[in-house]
Amino acid sequence: MGAPLGAPQGLAGGAAPLPNPAGSRVAILAPLTGPYAGVATELVNAAKLGLGATGASGLDVLDTGGTPQGAVAAAQKAIADGAGVIIGPLTNSEAAAVAGVTGPAHVDVLALTSDSSVAKPGLWALGITPAEQVRALTEAASTQGHGQLAALLPENPLGDAMGRALQSAGGGGQVQTYASGSFSSMNAALRSLSDYAGRRGPIDAQIKSLRGSHTVDGRREAAKLARTPIPPPPFQALLVAETGSGLGELASLMPYYDVNPGPVLVLGPGLWAANPAAVAAAGFRGALYAAPDPATAASFQSSYAQAYGGPPSNIAAIAFDAGAIARVTTQNGQINQAALTNPSGFAGADGLVALGADGSVKRGLAVFQVSQDGAQIVQPAPTSFAPGS
């Protein structure tokens, strides 16, 4: 058994703490109205559960309307009412907007977005980011002997984020992009990334020369050479960010350019966790993705269902983590900044989570291998964060 949900993993020191805010209350900025109102109740309920305050008190609930302007107004009211920690807002645009208000007031923001581009000292994006997925995947690929990485990514927000994450993770390798939804662009990008012309060209030149000799031996050698496998691509692992029909299209192209799953380890997004069997059926059996271990979330899901009468959605786990972190760090009417950025982290609903003083968030994800029956864990989620990891 690990530490209780929300419990700190120890007080092993860490980066210099941020200044303490004037207030010490906890508020949540939730989209009670507007386009995201459907998830607001779950966010508030989960945050209350994390705080240990499932009743009406213990959490100031403020409506953002799901807009940046509404989020700023809600943050201003929260600060005026004495908030020292704000849970939310939900979206990246709202989080970016409130930073201009919460930063000068030294109010900590536990945003629920997975867009780490909005993070800065005092504002954390608690969602499971592509950066954390890529970090876990590169470690797993290296462990399996696939240290040379490359990425073939669509030009969309997920592809862009995974490409930046690969470069930041120090994985090296080329990142090749293509127009999202365009088979012809994907085709050209994979041909270029795999250096197919450079690998196949010398062999084709030899075949042409042998056939040009117009001899029986020349034709025989040319036929033999035509059956010879071409050299492998200039990478051992390939990061992709496709789901849906794009997976099948990519699977049809890879053998044509001699980029074969197996010798080349395919790495994909955590979105594959929704239906890994479909990923396998598309042609990517053996591929890896990083995501929370479902067994870890079972305790939170059970507690939520018992408290509120129904199962929570995935986003509720992020709000629970924010509430649990706020509970640990706002005790006795004070904000404990050292506990907030404790490098050992907290036991969250989906596993370990640790906040850095620079706004970074580290999550302990498991790595799964896709199979026709679903997926199996090949690299368990960490049970602790080693110093400097």
Bridge partners, 28 (sequence order): 61, 87
- Integer distance in angstroms from the first to the last C-alpha of the chain? 23
Predicted confidence (pLDDT) at residue 146 exceeds the cutoff of 80? yes
Average pLDDT, the chain: 88
**Whole-angstrom Cα distance, residue 240 to residue 185?**
15
- Give the dihedral sign, CA 31/356/369/146: positive
Mean pLDDT of 341-366: 93
Residue 337's pLDDT is 82
Residue 54's pLDDT is 56
Contact 42, 301 (CB under 8 A): no
Residue 262 CB neighbours (<10 A): 8
Mean pLDDT of 53-77: 88
Nearest Cα neighbor of 288 from 305, 265, 317 is 265
> Residue 214 in 3-state DSSP?
coil
Instruction: In the chain, list all ranges with CATH 3.40.50.2300.
Output: 25-127+293-358
Residue 114's pLDDT is 92
Residue 221's pLDDT is 73
Mean pLDDT of 353-368: 95
- Give the percent of the chain with pLDDT over 70: 88
Contact 96, 64 (CB under 8 A): no
CATH C-level class of 25-127+293-358: alpha beta
Residue 3's pLDDT is 43
DSSP 216-258: HHHHHHHHHHHTSPPPPPS-SEEEE---THHHHHHHHHTTTTT
Residue 58's pLDDT is 76
**Whole-angstrom Cα distance, residue 328 to residue 253?**
51
Cα 167 to Cα 124, 132, 261: the distances in Å are: 21, 13, 23
Residue 46's pLDDT is 96
**Whole-angstrom Cα distance, residue 64 to residue 47?**
16
**Whole-angstrom Cα distance, residue 287 to residue 255?**
15
Residue 302 CB neighbours (<10 A): 11
Mean pLDDT of 161-190: 89
Higher pLDDT, 74 or 16: 74
Which pLDDT band, with edges at 50, 70 and 90, does 245 fall under? confident
The H-or-E segment that residue 27 falls in is: strand 25-30
Which pLDDT band, with edges at 50, 70 and 90, does 170 fall under? low
Which pLDDT band, with edges at 50, 70 and 90, does 216 fall under? confident
Residue 1's pLDDT is 31
Segment 270-317, tens digit of pLDDT? 999 999 999 999 999 999 999 999 999 999 999 999 999 999 998 999
Mean pLDDT of 349-377: 94
Mean pLDDT of 174-187: 94
- Give the dihedral sign, CA 356/358/359/364: negative
Sheet strand arrangement including 83-87: 60-63, 25-30, 83-87, 108-111, 123-125
